[in-house]
Amino acid sequence: MFTYDSFVTDGAFTLMRPVFVLLLCIMLALFFIILFPRLRRRFTNGLSVVGLSVVSLAVSCQLLYYSGIIVDEFGLGGDEISTYLFLLIAAFASLNSFIYFVLKSENFPKRTMPANKGNI
């Protein structure tokens, strides 16, 4: 039925699994960059963390959706490992943004308003 037999493993469509693994590796690399202060200061800012998290989440969401359409058309079973990989990507995407902004807010001391000495 398929050009390559490696598209199906035990009745489940697994062609998209390497892309999910790549996206998960990117999210893990970003997670470790955020955890180490020297790397965080050198390689990241808020836009890059949130942007990379949102793009990875959007790509993995579309990939899971299209994988479901392909599975339905070919009459195969879904790949539950891809679903778990998507859930891990979603968890790390939200965790990366949360940890980055929590650690960033801890590094900056809270500013207080100077006392007004009547000089207006």
CA distance linking residue 70 with residue 49, whole number of Å: 31
3 secondary structure, DSSP code: S
As a whole number, mean pLDDT of residues 63-88 equals 91
Local confidence band at 42 (pLDDT 50, 70, 90 cut-offs): confident
Flag whether the pTM goes above 0.75. yes
Q: Please indicate, yes or no, if residue 16 is contained in any of the structural domains.
A: yes
The total of structural domains in the chain comes to: 1
Domain span at residue 90?
5-107
Q: Where are the alpha helices (DSSP H) in 1-108?
A: 17-35, 37-43, 46-74, 80-107
Q: Please indicate, yes or no, if residue 113 is contained in any of the structural domains.
A: no
Q: Please indicate, yes or no, if residue 120 is contained in any of the structural domains.
A: no
114 secondary structure, DSSP code: P
Q: Please indicate, yes or no, if residue 112 is contained in any of the structural domains.
A: no
Q: Please indicate, yes or no, if residue 68 is contained in any of the structural domains.
A: yes
> Is the pLDDT confidence value at 76 over 90?
no
> Is the pLDDT confidence value at 49 over 70?
yes
Q: Please indicate, yes or no, if residue 72 is contained in any of the structural domains.
A: yes
C-alpha count within 13 angstroms, C-beta hemisphere, residue 73: 8
Q: Please indicate, yes or no, if residue 92 is contained in any of the structural domains.
A: yes
**Closest listed residue to residue 65, CA positions, set 50, 78, 52:** 78
Averaged pLDDT of the chain: 86
Q: Please indicate, yes or no, if residue 117 is contained in any of the structural domains.
A: no
pLDDT digits (tens, 9 = 90+) for 80-115: 999 999 999 999 999 999 999 998 887 666 666 666
DSSP 74-100: HT-B--HHHHHHHHHHHHHHHHHHHHH
